[in-house]
Structure 1
Amino acid sequence: MTVIDIPGSKSVTARALFLAAAARGTSTLLRPLRSDDTEGFAEGLKALGYEVRQEPGAWHIQGRPDGPKADAADVYCRDGATTARFLPTLAAAAGHGTYTFDASPQMRRRPLGPLTTALRTLGVDLRHHEREGHHPLTVHAAGIKGGALTLDAGESSQYLTALLMLGPLTAEGLTITVTDLVSEPYVEITLAMMRAFGADVGHQGRTYTVAPTGYTATTYAIEPDASTSSYFFAAAALQAGTTVTVPGLGTGALQGDLGFVDVLRRMGADVEITDTATTVRGTGTLHCLTVNMRDISDTMPTLAALAPFADGPVRIEDVANTRVKECDRLDACAENLRRLGITVTTGPDWIEIQPGTPAGPAEIATHGDHRIVMSFAVAALRTPGITYDDPGCVRKTFPDFHDVFGDVFRDSFGDDFGAFTRTP
């Protein structure tokens, strides 16, 4: 059995940084993810005037309930969607000044219109500089009274998360009625974490109510990243007798993406989830299936890369939102599977992958997307010679991925181990 220490969750780390910055007192985050995305978030907080002290294994954030210390700032959000969506919301809710936000070309392409429309509905003076609904943008912040609004979060649950976290910072509280929602388990993460920082938030159906309580500082432990764990679990499922255990992800885990192991169980893998860990063991069989991955869509590429080794077609449905991630992940998965000689068909919100033996080595077109790289590392276990056009984009969430994955599955790579693409 191989026990793997997976880095902290990106989603949990980003939320914790927002909540700690908004809280009364100094919060300590234990085992935060240290990657390009989370470093970008921390740097953004510093640019706004928050005090963030980073030590190995712990980050300390001096909260400012009254908002950023700076009354003017230029914040660069890098590639991070949570940074690009959460920080303007924090500045709008708690700030009193003028704050400009920009991002990488990749992030500039990603939408945030439903969020900025909602902020304007709440009275925020917000202006997009070039393309409406996209970065760059400027927020002229003067606090938010609160009120009620309607939100379409069918494109990204991060819109709802940003507004929920804003709620306790308003003068009168916030009521949000959601017309559509994708990746709902991520919202459950938000609600649980808000309560851990002292918020009063609840919902009936798709209507969420947030009281104007503010937040209280706390010490918060970041659990391992369930999305990142999916690559190691999938690799175990692919190989008979291979067992992978991830401690820190158990029955009480916040992240819905741990549900990926239920997909692996349906395909034939042995799965055990205890209070403290999750273990997957390959049985030598991978069954075909049709699966709705709307709530765990970040793991869609993992299943797509595993799918050719099943005993029949694998069809993944209700994942339209993956087309507006770091890249169009549906098309990217299809493109790369075809490069490996696998037959694939796609539709607006689905992909179907036929079983087959990869034709041989191929260069994976990453489109700068960390999840495409890490997913196709699973396929590389059965396809000697796979390389990537941009292996280094894993720095977004797991800078050491190539080394860790290669070392864990060294025996599977065999003589090809030295050719396994590592981060430059």
Structure 2
Amino acid sequence: SNGLCTLQGFLPSEDCMHTVNAMRALGIKIEQPEPTTLIVHGKKRVLNAPKEEINCGNSGTTMRLLAGLLAGQTFESRLVGDAGLSRRPMDRVIAPLCEMGASVVAEGPDETPPLRIRGGSLRGIHYRPPVASAQVKGALLLAGLFATGKTTVEELLPTRNHMEKIFNYFLVRTAAEGDGSVTIFGDQVPESRDFAIPGDISSAAFWLVAAAAQRRGHLLVRDVGLNDTRTALLAVLLRMGAQVREAVEDVDQVEPRGIVEVTGLPLKGTVIQGKEVPRLIDELPILSVAGALASGKTIVRHAQELRVKETDRIAAIAHNLRTMGAHVAELSDGLEIHGPAPLHGARVASFGDHRIAMAFAIAGLFADGETIVQDAECIRESYPGFEGVLEEFTNPKRMQISTPVIGSLTPTPPEAT
């Protein structure tokens, strides 16, 4: 942007801090007077060449969005990640950024990181990504800021629209079309503005499912983001039989925010497929746990993107559910889960994936016996403090809990099934 921006509600997770440190390495001054507050000093799109390679940790979002940002710079940079990120495909951003005029080379096998990027004079393009990915869309829109002409991304299926909302809030001219495409007009400098970041519904999802799956369970989540491209989870829980109420309380800033209230009732199986999948891709691990606890069959289809996340999440979910006693069939693009399963405690693997670790920590609440999630430190990538909230969630004497995600939590401890 062209000046000072104060961001409230920042989550100091490992993934978010990798993004902050990457921007600092590119010459952007970022102060952090409190853990959840950032003061960003904008430089009108002008970045400095980094003195060394930029470490994105395990964050695919960081790497792909940075690739779009760096494509419009005049210097060369190198993006690296940990072992998990180094297995993830980057061809989906490499091809369009090269088409725009940048040089982006994947140094790993099969178009995987590290990425070496040399920016150039970019030209706007019309691009239809081969996969429904908000990360690809975001990378191209960021690159489009530096391009001549207009850059249009025509999506196969609607994905999260946070980038478009951020651009509009920062007074960057964009246009959304009825065919699912979004256009950004080049050579613009965002206006500096302050804003407050709402709670993350993907993090709240673990507690929402836990409440929905327990008889008489009740959970109230406050100050959570209610962007309609992120709330498909709530529709699924409603279909499965839970009582769900959401209410938008504030639409003044970037994102609508408000409350979500869930009351647990006996769940029944459902089908998750098609347009719904990109809008809850990160919630599928915990929804699969809900499927194992529900009566009947739960089917997840068109979710092949799960195979190229931090781990192969389809295989990881199937493996851990079977280990805990569930009947699961692994499909090429999803899962078929037969419930209700009398889950038993077990030693399960996180596979180095934060969402797998958290999903099976919740599964352990409903299992008979002790459940141990191995290598659970990966949870810190997206949700520091998860373990503390988990302890509070099972404590009936504590009726109010304050976290970056949950402002008010009124749980009933789950009964083992």
The interval holding the TM-score normalised by the smaller chain is 0.7 to 0.9
Aligned to 1:211: 185
Q: Which residue of 2 aligns with 1:114?
A: 92
What is the 5 A alignment of 1:78-89?
78-89=57-68
The correspondence of residues 330-341 of structure 1 with structure 2, limited to 5 A, is 330-341=314-325
TM-score (norm 1): 0.86
**Gap change, CA 1:344 and 1:29, over 3 Å in 2:** same
**CA offset digits 1:375-419 (Å, max 9, x no partner):** 112211111311111111100111110111221123577999xxx
What is the DSSP-based 3-state SS (H/G/I as helix, E as strand, rest coil) of the residue aligned with 1:265?
Answer: helix
Counterpart of 2:203 in structure 1 is: 228
- Aligned position for 2:371: 386
Q: 1:280-295, aligned counterparts within 5 Å?
A: 280-283=262-265, 285-292=266-273, 293-294=276-277, 295=279
- Name the CA distance, whole Å, in 2 between partners of 1:171 and 1:66: 15
Distance in 1 (alpha carbons) for counterparts of 2:131 and 2:415: 46
What count of residue pairs does the alignment treat as equivalent? 385
* CA positional deviation for 1:348: 1.4
Opposite residue 107 of structure 2, the aligned amino acid is H
Letter in 2 for 1:27: C
Residue 74 of structure 1: how far off its partner (Å): 1.6
Task: Say whether 1:159 aligns with 2:132.
Answer: no
How far 1:347 sits from its partner (Å)?
1.3
Matched with 1:63 is: 42
Q: Does 1:347 align with 2:331?
A: yes
Structure 1 residues 26 and 341, CA, compared in 2 at 3 Å: closer, same or farther? same
- 1:404 equivalent to 2:382? Answer no
Q: CA deviation at 1:265?
A: 1.2
State the one-letter code of the partner of 1:279: E
CA distance in 1 between partners of 2:107 and 2:135 (Å): 22
Cα distance between partner residues in 2 of 1:154 and 1:344: 26
SS at match of 1:105: coil
Contact kept in structure 2, 1:47 and 1:74, CA below 8 Å: no
Is the 8 Å Cα contact of residues 168 and 215 (structure 1) preserved in structure 2?
A: no
Kindly provide the CA deviation profile for residues 17-41 of structure 1, in whole angstroms up to 9, marking residues without a partner as x.
Answer: xxxxxx1111111111110000001
Matches within 5 A, 1:13-412: 23-56=1-34, 57-70=36-49, 73-93=52-72, 95-142=73-120, 144-154=121-131, 156-178=133-155, 180-181=156-157, 184-186=158-160, 188-204=161-177, 205-212=179-186, 213-249=188-224, 253-254=226-227, 256-275=229-248, 276-283=258-265, 285-292=266-273, 293-294=276-277, 295-383=279-367, 384-411=369-396
In structure 2, what residue type is equivalent to 1:89? G
Question: How far apart, in 1, do the equivalents of 2:56 and 2:346 lie?
Answer: 33
Q: Distance in 1 between matches of 2:373 and 2:193?
A: 41
Distance in 2 (alpha carbons) for counterparts of 1:414 and 1:231: 13
| SS of equivalent residue, structure 2 residue 315 | helix
Unaligned runs of 5+ in 1: 1-22, 417-424
Amino acid at match of 1:220: F
Q: Distance in 1 between matches of 2:45 and 2:340?
A: 58
Structure 2: how far apart are the matches of 1:255 and 1:85?
23
* Structure 2: segments with no counterpart, 5+ residues: 249-257, 397-411
What is the CA-CA distance between 1:155 and the residue it aligns to?
A: 5.5
Whichever residue aligns with residue 268 of structure 2, its letter is H
Q: C-alpha separation between the residues in 1 aligned to 2:268 and 2:6?
A: 44
- Cα drift, residue 193 of structure 1: 1.3
Cα distance per residue 1:297-328 (max 9 Å; x no partner) = 11111111121221211112221111111111
Task: Tell whether the 8 Å contact from 1:245 to 1:277 is kept in structure 2 after alignment.
Answer: yes
- Contact persistence 2:9–2:37 (CA under 8 A): yes
- CA shift, 1:157, in A, is 2.5
CA apart distance, 1:114: 1.8
TM-score by length of 2: 0.87
Higher helix share goes to which structure? 1
Quick check: 2:25–2:50 contact (8 Å CA) kept in 1?
Answer: no
TM-aligned CA deviation for residue 350 of structure 1: 2.2
CA distance in structure 2 between the aligned counterparts of 1:359 and 1:79, rounded to whole angstroms: 31
- The 3 A distance-change label for structure 1 pair 273 and 207 is closer
